[in-house]
Structure formats: C-alpha cells, structure tokens
Amino acid sequence: MLPALSRVAVCGGTHGNELSGVYLVHERLKRRKKSQVMEPVAVVTVMSNPRAVQRCVRYTETDLNRCFTHAILSASEQTSYELVRSQELNSLLGPKGSAEAMDLICDLHNTTANMGLCLITYSDSDWICLHICKYLQARAQHPRTDAMEIGPQPHGLIRANIFMAMQEAVQLLLDWVRLFNSGAQFEGGSVDVYTLVKNIDYPRDPHTHTIIAAVHPDLQDRDFCLLHPGDPMFLSFSGETLRYKGKEPLYPFFINESAYYEKAVALSLARRRKVEIPAIRSSRM
C-alpha cells in the first residue's frame, strides 16, 4: 500500500535543445489555456530552462540538470542563471526531501544515442517508477526493445516519430497515475533494470587531449546490446580498431551522446538484473 499521487509535474526543456519536451510542454500549456480542462490528477507543466530554450542550447552557463544536489539547492547568493533557476524550481516543485514536494516529476529529455524510450530513475526500490516502467513496456507502441523505428534525435531539431513516442509515454504515465489513484491494484512481477557501472571516455591525444577516435561502427547505435571483452569499441581516425579491455561483459548505453563529449563520456556501461517488484495499490486518502 502506498499513498496516492496527488501532485504530478511534467517538465520539458531542462536542456533547451532537446526539443520533444519543449514542444510537448508548449502543446500542454496551449491546450490548458484553450480548454481549461481539469485533469483528474493535478498536473503542473513546466518549461524548466526558458533561457536555454529560447536560444536552443543545452544550457546558458551551467548544465541545469546537474544543479539539484542539496549542496547547490541550499547555497546562498547564486548568480549563474541555471543555479538560480534550480533554486526556483526547487521552491516550485519541492523543496527536495520535504513533505511538500511533488509526488512525481516526469522530466523529458532527448539523446543522440539510439536508446529508444528509456526511463531513468535514481533507485531500484522505487516501486512507483518501476511499476510505471512495467506499464509502459507492456503498452507503449515504441517500447525500448522494439525501438528500431524510434531511433535517436539530434539536438536542436524535432522528429515527428520521437515526439509521438514521447507524447504517448507521457499519456500512459498519467493514465497509470489515474488508475493508481483510483485504487486499482497493479500486479507485481519483474522488471529488467540497468545500473550504471562506469563511463568510458574517447581515446585522446596525450598532448592536445583532443579526441582521436570515434565509436566503432560495430558499437554505434547498439545501445543495450551486450559488449563482451575484445569487442570493438572505437575506430581511430587513422583506421585502427580499439577493443573493450574490461573483464566483465556489460551493457553500453548513451553511446555517442553529443552533450557528453565535454563531460568526457563516449558511452556508459551498465549491469542488467531483474528486480522483483511487489503488487501495489494506493491507500485511499
């Protein structure tokens, strides 16, 4: 038994050039203005980083989506735009860690990696999020495993198929919340969960530190396909293959995300395991 979710937020444009969320938020705000429809769940729709959205850049001074640690949120006299904005969002949707905080935030992102529709959450014992994932996997037209037609999306542009997949996913999530709040029981089961183990950087020139290889064509676009020791990882610009030297086969994801070049991440590696989730039902309020 878990408490009902009475307040939910849908956030887009946390990175200003990830356009599915930007346009989804625009649409929701426009429809809200036109029809004044009351949704069964109170949904707050937020454009997280308006200045970055206006300039169609990931961020203006610092990555907003790295600004929600307790340390940053409680620091006084922030001057940088995103640091001030994260504190504003924390007042609006939080405060983080308090009883007044939103029950659920759904934050919308795009990636240049071929990750289909991916749900990212902080804890593998967050039954709400894992149940939402199970619900989406069963119903979404474009679940991660069959993600061929979804593909990646370059930053700064919008692809209709990716937008529709995002729109569908948000709708399914809100449907789930409605059902959950109405007292429906969701059967337990198992969910495949990928947990980050480490990040791998590009091979770099030892003097200039510039990148000297690209993700290997045999690995490019193969997010969530098992990478074995000895498999090709990078192809240098001069034509040499560099192989995965780890001992453990792992699952790569965020393969060739353009925003991660500056964070020195070519790809992330994860372990996969099945997490058993219990049946849940909301306790009537």
Partner 1 sequence: MLKDSLQSNVSACVSLQWRRMKPLISLNMELITLPALHRMAVCGGTHGNEMSGVFLVPELERQRKEKGDAIWPIPLTTVLSNPQAIKECKRYVDKDLNRCFTSAILSSPITDSTPYEVRRAQELNTLLGPKQTNDAIDMICDLHNTTANMGLSIICYSHTNWICLHIFKYLQAKITTVPVRLVLLNIPIGDAYSLESVSKYGISLEVGPQPQGVVRADIFNAMKEGVNAVLDWVKNFNSGEVIEGGDVEAFMFKKTVDYPRDPETKTPIAAVHPQLQDRDFCLLKRGDPMFLTFSGETVRYEEEEPLHPVFINEAAYYEKGIAFHLAQKQPWTIPSIQAKKV
Using CB under 8 A as the criterion, which residues of the chain lie in contact with partner 1 when the complex forms? 23-24, 26-27, 56, 112, 152-161, 163-164, 167, 210-211, 214-217, 220, 235, 237-238, 256, 258-259, 261-262
Q: Which residues lie closer than 8 Å to 243 by C-beta, 6 or more apart?
A: 229, 230, 231, 232, 233
Would residue 149 show up in a list of annotated catalytic residues for this protein?
yes
Catalytic pick among 39, 149, 187, 240: 149
Nearer to partner 1, 116 or 130 (CB): 116
Count of CA atoms in the C-beta half-sphere (13 A) of 21? 27
Output the smallest distance, CB 282 to partner 1, in A. Answer: 32
Nearer to partner 1, 90 or 252 (CB): 252
Of 146, 269, 152, whose CA–CA distance to 201 is shortest?
Answer: 269
Output the smallest distance, CB 156 to partner 1, in A. Answer: 4
Of 210, 204, 203, whose CA–CA distance to 242 is shortest?
Answer: 203
Output the smallest distance, CB 269 to partner 1, in A. Answer: 19
* Backbone torsion region of residue 118, taken as left when φ is above 0, otherwise alpha when ψ lies between -120 and 50, otherwise beta: beta
Q: What are phi and psi of 245, to 5 degrees?
A: -100, 0
Output the smallest distance, CB 18 to partner 1, in A. Answer: 12
Q: What are phi and psi of 60, to 5 degrees?
A: -95, -40
Cα separation, 225 vs 253, whole angstroms: 8
* Residue 155 annotated as lining a ligand binding site: no
Nearer to partner 1, 163 or 224 (CB): 163
Nearer to partner 1, 78 or 167 (CB): 167
* Residue 18 annotated as lining a ligand binding site: yes
Of 222, 201, 199, whose CA–CA distance to 213 is shortest?
Answer: 201
Binding-site residues from annotation: 15, 18, 109
Binding-site residues from annotation for Zn(2+): 15, 18, 109
**Catalytic annotation, residues:** 149
